[in-house]
């Protein structure tokens, strides 16, 4: 029994008349009668008793009538769900994130996407840069966010926004009296670097900037994440160069000042995804990312 036969059967069962059912279905009565006869032959039993007034359901017909509306409803739901999934309105978006990224842009992007597509389940995975690349290749995540992403043949990297650098230090430090801190001002100061990871990252960028500007770098601590780094800076362990988004993290005793440096001016937040991935959910999310980038560029002008 196919879906067309189910609809024909339901119309006759509800109208209890082949003529009225045919009118409801916008078809002639003889083809409808033939379809019902074929259905009865397939089922191996009579579904209707023909009467002078029309047609009455047999016991077998009443049994089938109890099931057909549910089957048709499930079919409609399956069709609708499939169409929504094809439009990127249903499904799952697995996102690779990192600590400082969740302090500004990433939550805004996810909130915008969720508001437009509440039927898409968002899964968050806190992963290092190397782990995000591996997870993309293994299809454990759909998209990732990070900075200073290395070039990979099978990975696409797009800019989300550019952020200036900040200097994070304790409120009692003499450099707090400056409106902006030059890299030269940090010569000999105990510095806290992050992330302490295998791939090139912010720690290496800071180290290279000190070398390029011929400023002596004193590394007090090397830590894995921005929260630890800023927590140490708030506790007078040293000074940390970080990004503007990290400035949203407010800790007792911690203040931020703009950094002035020839080498460290801006740093990109990037999103990364598999090359050739054209799944509707990813494409819809990338639309959100690109609109966010356009708005960020307008605000920066």
Please determine, for residue 122, whether its predicted confidence score (pLDDT) is greater than 80: yes
Please determine, for residue 136, whether its predicted confidence score (pLDDT) is greater than 90: yes
pLDDT in tens, 137-195: 999 999 999 999 999 999 999 999 999 999 999 999 999 999 999 999 999 999 999 98
Per-residue pLDDT band at 104 (split at 50, 70, 90):
confident
Please determine, for residue 198, whether its predicted confidence score (pLDDT) is greater than 80: no
CA distances from 142 to 64, 76, 138, 277, 289 (A): 44, 29, 10, 9, 14
| Residue 262: predicted pLDDT | 93
| Residue 145: predicted pLDDT | 97
- Rounded to 10°, the helix 280-300/105-116 angle is 130
More confident residue, 101 or 183: 183
Please determine, for residue 46, whether its predicted confidence score (pLDDT) is greater than 90: yes
| Residue 53: predicted pLDDT | 84
| Residue 52: predicted pLDDT | 85
Query: For the chain, what is the mean pLDDT?
Result: 92
Mean pLDDT for 196-210 is 91
Contact 150, 130 (CB under 8 A): no
pLDDT in tens, 221-233: 999 999 999 999 9
Q: Does domain 3-86 have CATH number 1.10.10.10?
A: yes
Mean pLDDT for 100-104 is 82
Please determine, for residue 103, whether its predicted confidence score (pLDDT) is greater than 90: no
Per-residue pLDDT band at 112 (split at 50, 70, 90):
very high
Please determine, for residue 300, whether its predicted confidence score (pLDDT) is greater than 80: no
- Which CATH class for the 163-267 domain? alpha beta
Residue 60 and residue 238: Cα distance in Å, rounded?
83
Q: Among all chains, which residue has been given the structure tokens 């040293």?
A: 238
| Residue 82: predicted pLDDT | 73
Mean pLDDT for 267-289 is 96
The boundaries of every CATH 3.40.190.10 domain in the chain are: 91-160+268-300, 163-267
| Residue 143: predicted pLDDT | 98
Residue 224 and residue 195: Cα distance in Å, rounded?
4
The boundaries of every CATH 1.10.10.10 domain in the chain are: 3-86
Per-residue pLDDT band at 76 (split at 50, 70, 90):
confident
Q: Please report, rounded to a whole number, the percentage of residues in the chain having pLDDT higher than 70.
A: 99
Please determine, for residue 73, whether its predicted confidence score (pLDDT) is greater than 90: no
Per-residue pLDDT band at 102 (split at 50, 70, 90):
confident
Please determine, for residue 239, whether its predicted confidence score (pLDDT) is greater than 80: yes
| Residue 96: predicted pLDDT | 97
Mean pLDDT for 94-119 is 91
The answer to whether the Cα torsion of 146, 151, 157, 163 is positive or negative is positive
Q: Which CATH architecture has domain 91-160+268-300?
A: 3-Layer(aba) Sandwich (3.40)
Max CA separation in the chain (angstroms): 105
| Residue 101: predicted pLDDT | 78
Contact 191, 218 (CB under 8 A): yes
| Residue 266: predicted pLDDT | 93
Mean pLDDT for 54-73 is 89
């Amino acid at each position: 029994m196919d879906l067309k036969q189910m609809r024909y059967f339901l119309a006759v069962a509800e109208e209890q008349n082949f003529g009225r059912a045919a009118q409801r279905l916008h078809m002639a009565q003889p083809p409808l009668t033939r379809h019902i006869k074929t259905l009865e032959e397939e089922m191996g039993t009579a579904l209707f008793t023909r009467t002078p007034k029309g047609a009455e359901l047999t016991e077998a017909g009443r049994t089938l009538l109890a099931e057909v509306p549910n089957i048709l409803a499930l079919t409609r739901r399956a069709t609708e769900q499939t169409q929504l999934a094809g439009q990127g309105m249903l499904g799952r978006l697995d996102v690779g994130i990192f600590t400082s990224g969740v302090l500004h842009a990433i939550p805004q992007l996810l909130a915008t996407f969720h508001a437009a597509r509440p039927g898409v389940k968002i899964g968050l995975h806190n992963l290092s840069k190397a782990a995000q690349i591996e997870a993309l290749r293994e299809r454990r995540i759909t998209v990732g966010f990070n900075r200073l992403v290395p070039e990979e043949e099978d990975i696409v990297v797009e800019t989300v926004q550019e952020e200036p650098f900040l200097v994070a230090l304790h409120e009692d430090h003499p450099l707090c009296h400056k409106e902006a801190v030059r890299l030269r001002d940090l010569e000999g100061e105990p510095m806290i670097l992050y992330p302490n990871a295998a791939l090139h990252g912010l720690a290496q960028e800071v180290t290279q900037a000190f070398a390029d500007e011929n400023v002596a770098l004193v590394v007090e601590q090397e830590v894995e994440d921005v929260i630890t780094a800023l927590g140490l800076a708030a506790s007078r362990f040293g000074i940390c160069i970080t990004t503007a988004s990290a400035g949203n993290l407010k800790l007792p005793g911690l203040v931020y000042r703009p950094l002035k440096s020839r080498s460290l001016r801006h740093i990109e937040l990037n999103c990364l995804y598999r090359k050739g991935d054209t799944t509707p959910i990813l494409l819809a999310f990338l639309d959100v990312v690109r609109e966010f980038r356009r708005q960020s560029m307008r605000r920066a002008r």
